[in-house]
Amino acid sequence: MSKKVSGFSKFNSEEKINWLANNYFSDKKKGIAILKQYLNQDQKLQDLHNEFIENTISNFYIPYAIAPNFIINEKAYAIPMAIEESSVVAAASLVAKFWSTRGGFQTKVISTTKVGQIHFMYEDNFEKLTTYFEEIKSQLFKITEPLTQNMRNRGGGIIDIELRNKTIDLDNYYQLHITFETADSMGANFINSCLETIANAFKNEQIKIIMSILSNYVPECLVRAEVTCDIKDFFEKDAEHYAQKFIQAVQIANIEPYRAVTHNKGIMNGIDAVVLATGNDFRAVAAGAHAYASRSGKYKSLTNAKIENGKFYFWIEIPLSLGTVGGLTSLHPLAKLSLEILQQPTAKELMQIIAVAGLAQNFAALKALTTTGIQQGHMKMHLMNILNQLEANVNEKEIIVEKFQGKTISHNAISQALHNLRTSS
Amino acid sequence: MSKKVSGFSKFNSEEKINWLANNYFSDKKKGIAILKQYLNQDQKLQDLHNEFIENTISNFYIPYAIAPNFIINEKAYAIPMAIEESSVVAAASLVAKFWSTRGGFQTKVISTTKVGQIHFMYEDNFEKLTTYFEEIKSQLFKITEPLTQNMRNRGGGIIDIELRNKTIDLDNYYQLHITFETADSMGANFINSCLETIANAFKNEQIKIIMSILSNYVPECLVRAEVTCDIKDFFEKDAEHYAQKFIQAVQIANIEPYRAVTHNKGIMNGIDAVVLATGNDFRAVAAGAHAYASRSGKYKSLTNAKIENGKFYFWIEIPLSLGTVGGLTSLHPLAKLSLEILQQPTAKELMQIIAVAGLAQNFAALKALTTTGIQQGHMKMHLMNILNQLEANVNEKEIIVEKFQGKTISHNAISQALHNLRTSS
């Protein structure tokens, strides 16, 4: 049996599934049933989802949940999150409530500039290149006018085109470094279309274009979110002690990359969940955020904390390139509904909401880590997952959860306890 | 109307949805219908998905697709991908086919060590601490034995416990830096349980534990994937020219962070799609990968390329901490099916498959960027998305696609063309 296939993309959904079943399923009937069980009954809706990408054969479910009680700049939000990891939404909800009685979250957008680059090789002298660039620059703006017209009407467009000499890093290597404002759209298609049009007009016998592409590094598309309270309100007892410990945990993430990566991973749990739920691109956001965390030459925390004049401050600054129009935001019915739940935010408002989701997640993680430890909260969900895996019924679940309260949970121990329970009854 | 809510997590699914509708939906009936339309008809299956996280109200669909024709170490694979971004699966399929006639992908696991740390403060002298640590070290192993028993049976466990003096970075700050082998599980719960148990036994009057937590930075859980061919087979014409240009594109990503971030983002399109489809944690994988990209002090490409003795080489080295047992891998029916499609890989095998998915994605991006540009491929999907948004029917789609072949696509232009079509007919 050859597992090679030609023209797979031309197969219809049924044929794709059958080919897969014939070649890769151990139990064909069962495998096909699983794929089909996840298809939507409404064929028109299923067709819509099928067309988002290529070779679609089913829908992968990510739990879609709500974290209520967020107060951001005095306004109430319930934040939709799409995430498969337990504890993330519970943590968001708890932290939202905690800060809702302490002034809520304060946020602001610092900047919204995005970047695209035309990378090229040029072997002649730099002065000649500069002259050529200065001569052609206004024309480069002009030829993109049909492309940028709509964006300019919405307050965006090309901000500047800059020639950059990078020959110190790589022989003959230069860039057109182009800055954009893309209003409420993420702008990837817009930026790439502009870049390719510009590159086409800019190239000549001596200028060899290597590639033209937007950058997902957006350190000037930056948002800040903050919480603050009197130290005494930080914790029910020993508030100052725990506030100090919290700050030490942030300091550690600032000097120790092994910790910083996990610290920021927790932040991204919150951020990616809202990015996904609103139809934005979490790979782009994650790449930009982690690269920003390493901008000093050392990979560091994206959040900071301090105590000043008896007050506790905790904040995040993170680059977020997001859209609330275009792309999946208006195509995926649940992404669209997420934006409705968030009260139809502009891209700038969405940046602030998502920064809050990240800060909240980090607050929950640091508070748990510096007090009870992370496992206490995780373990209950972990226990339920193990029980589901072992197909425990409602009654068995209750008995086992009771039995393991405060005890260390391992797959082995649960499996044993369930076995004992089943054989004894 | 107050949007604050108490006891939300205790509401049943229906009550959660109603609260949300009453407080945040502009059209309650329509919003509720959308949420419910995504619920599975099979209540038992829906309950399973609801329990993965907290406050679940629906299922967020990510398209689940197949990229066939991958040859990895002589073995054929069809790779399941869960991703909402168009072109990713198409690119994977094309690249798989391209390399299937050129020897396929060669991969190897370099290392599989994972890390957890106990972060603590200690104000006395280091020698005393060292003596205490040496005395207690064997006991720290011993007290974790009940926890590590299963893992040791599977060839894993705690490799070493090391005392690290970090006072040069932060006053009084030390770590127990602990290395683990977690066999086929990702190991987060296992590592965190071990750490908390060790921290509990290790702490004393002078040793103040700040926190105990696994690290998602896993530079020693590393995998390599590579493709190679004669230069002449690289491209149908001007093969050497295009191979050189391809290598220049990789060099640029190595020296220019604005490019490196986007370059690696494309890699993560492939990696995260398979990570998600197999029930693994893409935030953890992304954090580890991007931090690894910045390990030299400058954020760089995760892939490399060279020409040597008439041959083209292209490879990736990336840290990937994955599981094929435990967590969602065995709970989410589609994640489980993904592992079946991948022929029940061990964690090591899955590392190799996922590294290939990343390398393939980068190959597709660089090949498109250095030849036709990225927009040609993107634009067809972009056009279909716009047409879906404008609710074009099959007939209208055909006419518009034909009309815009080779032309620049903008929302405005499509909308205008569709309007003209509709008013003229």
List pLDDT tens digits, range A198-226.
999 999 999 999 999 999 999 999 999 99
What size, in residues, is chain A? 425
**CB contacts, 8 Å: B26 with chain A:** 340
Report the candidate in B310, B252, B305 with the shortest Cα–Cα distance to residue A209: B252
Name the E strands within B182-310.
Answer: 208-214, 222-230, 303-308
The tens digit of pLDDT for each residue in A48-70 reads 999 999 999 999 999 999 999 99
CA–CA gap between residue A380 and residue A368 (Å, rounded): 14
Name the band, by pLDDT with cuts 50, 70 and 90, for residue A169: very high
Active site residues of A: 85, 265, 281, 378
The tens digit of pLDDT for each residue in A333-385 reads 999 999 999 999 999 999 999 999 999 999 999 999 999 877 776 677 778 87
Please report the residues numbered 36 through 95 in chain A whose beta carbons come closer than 8 angstroms to any beta carbon of chain B.
Answer: 37-38, 40-42, 45, 48-69, 76, 78, 82-90, 93
Measure the N-to-C terminal CA separation of chain B; round to a whole number of Å. 49
The whole-number pLDDT of residue B212 equals: 96
Identify the sign of the CA torsion A385, A387, A392, A396: negative
Residue % of chain A over a pLDDT of 70: 99
Give the pLDDT mean for A173-196.
96
The whole-number pLDDT of residue A270 equals: 98
Q: Rounded to whole angstroms, what are the CA distances from A281 to A277, B253, B293?
A: 10, 21, 20
The whole-number pLDDT of residue B425 equals: 64
Give the pLDDT mean for B322-326.
94
The whole-number pLDDT of residue B377 equals: 67
Q: Two tokens at B370?
A: 């250095």
**CB contacts, 8 Å: A211 with chain B:** 249, 252, 366, 369-370, 373
Across the beta sheet with B208-214, what order do the strands follow? B157-165, B173-181, B114-121, B208-214
Count of alpha carbons within 13 angstroms of residue A113, beta-carbon side: 13
Across the interface, whether the CB atoms of B411 and A298 are under 8 A apart is answered no
* Residue to substitute from A43, A60, A411, interface B, most B β-carbons within 10 A: A60
Across the interface, whether the CB atoms of B262 and A217 are under 8 A apart is answered yes
Q: Rounded to whole angstroms, what are the CA distances from A185 to A197, A275, A279, B386?
A: 20, 14, 12, 14
Please provide residue B306's backbone torsions phi and psi, each rounded to the nearest 5 degrees: -155, 160
Distance from CA of A72 to the nearest CA of B (A): 13
Number of H helices, E strands in chain A: 15, 10
Distance from CA of B228 to the nearest CA of A (A): 20
**Coil/strand/helix, residue A359:** helix
The whole-number pLDDT of residue A2 equals: 63
Across the interface, whether the CB atoms of B82 and A68 are under 8 A apart is answered no
The whole-number pLDDT of residue A203 equals: 96
The whole-number pLDDT of residue B370 equals: 95
Taking the Cβ of residue A7 and every Cβ of chain B, the question of whether any pair is shorter than 8 Å is answered with: no
Please, what is the average pLDDT of chain B?
95
Across the interface, whether the CB atoms of B85 and A146 are under 8 A apart is answered no
Please report the residues numbered 218 through 237 in chain B whose beta carbons come closer than 8 angstroms to any beta carbon of chain A.
Answer: none
Give the pLDDT mean for B378-398.
82
Q: Classify domain B68-110+222-371 by CATH number.
A: 3.90.770.10
Work out the burial of residue A366: count CB atoms within 10 Å of its CB; fewer than 13 is exposed, 13-18 middle, 19 or more buried: buried
The tens digit of pLDDT for each residue in A85-142 reads 999 999 999 999 999 999 999 999 999 999 999 999 999 999 999 999 999 999 999 9
Across the interface, whether the CB atoms of A411 and B260 are under 8 A apart is answered no
Across the interface, whether the CB atoms of A369 and B340 are under 8 A apart is answered no
List, in order, residues 6 or more apart from A186 with CB less than 8 Å away. Answer: A280, A281, A284, A321, A322, A323, A326, A327, A347
Q: Two tokens at A407?
A: 């005890």
The whole-number pLDDT of residue A327 equals: 86
Taking the Cβ of residue B361 and every Cβ of chain A, the question of whether any pair is shorter than 8 Å is answered with: no
Q: Two tokens at B373?
A: 């540009």
**Which ipTM value was assigned to this complex?**
0.93
Q: Which of A16, A37, A264 sits opposite B42 (nearest CB)?
A: A37
The tens digit of pLDDT for each residue in B234-282 reads 988 899 999 999 999 999 999 999 999 999 999 999 999 999 999 999 9
Contact A213, B262 (CB under 8 A): yes
**CB contacts, 8 Å: A20 with chain B:** 66, 78, 341
Across the beta sheet with B303-308, what order do the strands follow? B106-109, B222-230, B311-319, B303-308
Report the candidate in A220, A217, A225 with the shortest Cα–Cα distance to residue A112: A220
Of B28, B49, B265, B403, which one is the catalytic site residue?
B265
What pTM was computed for the model? Answer: 0.93
The whole-number pLDDT of residue A391 equals: 87
- In what helix (H) or strand (E) does residue A411 lie, and over which residues does it extend? helix A411-424
Name the band, by pLDDT with cuts 50, 70 and 90, for residue B2: low
**CB contacts, 8 Å: B152 with chain A:** none
Please check the confidence at residue A1 and state whether its pLDDT lies above 50: no
The tens digit of pLDDT for each residue in A290-304 reads 999 999 999 999 999
Please check the confidence at residue B388 and state whether its pLDDT lies above 90: no
- In what helix (H) or strand (E) does residue B179 lie, and over which residues does it extend? strand B173-181
Taking the Cβ of residue B132 and every Cβ of chain A, the question of whether any pair is shorter than 8 Å is answered with: no
Q: Two tokens at B222?
A: 């590393």
The whole-number pLDDT of residue A197 equals: 95
Contact B82, A60 (CB under 8 A): yes
Taking the Cβ of residue A114 and every Cβ of chain B, the question of whether any pair is shorter than 8 Å is answered with: no
Q: Specify whether B402 is catalytic.
A: no
Please report the residues numbered 253 through 282 in chain B whose beta carbons come closer than 8 angstroms to any beta carbon of chain A.
Answer: 255-262, 264-265, 268-269, 272, 276-277, 279, 281-282
**CB contacts, 8 Å: B341 with chain A:** 20, 24-25
CA–CA gap between residue B199 and residue B201 (Å, rounded): 5
Identify the sign of the CA torsion B315, A165, A193, A198: negative
Taking the Cβ of residue A334 and every Cβ of chain B, the question of whether any pair is shorter than 8 Å is answered with: yes
CATH architecture of B114-214: 2-Layer Sandwich (3.30)
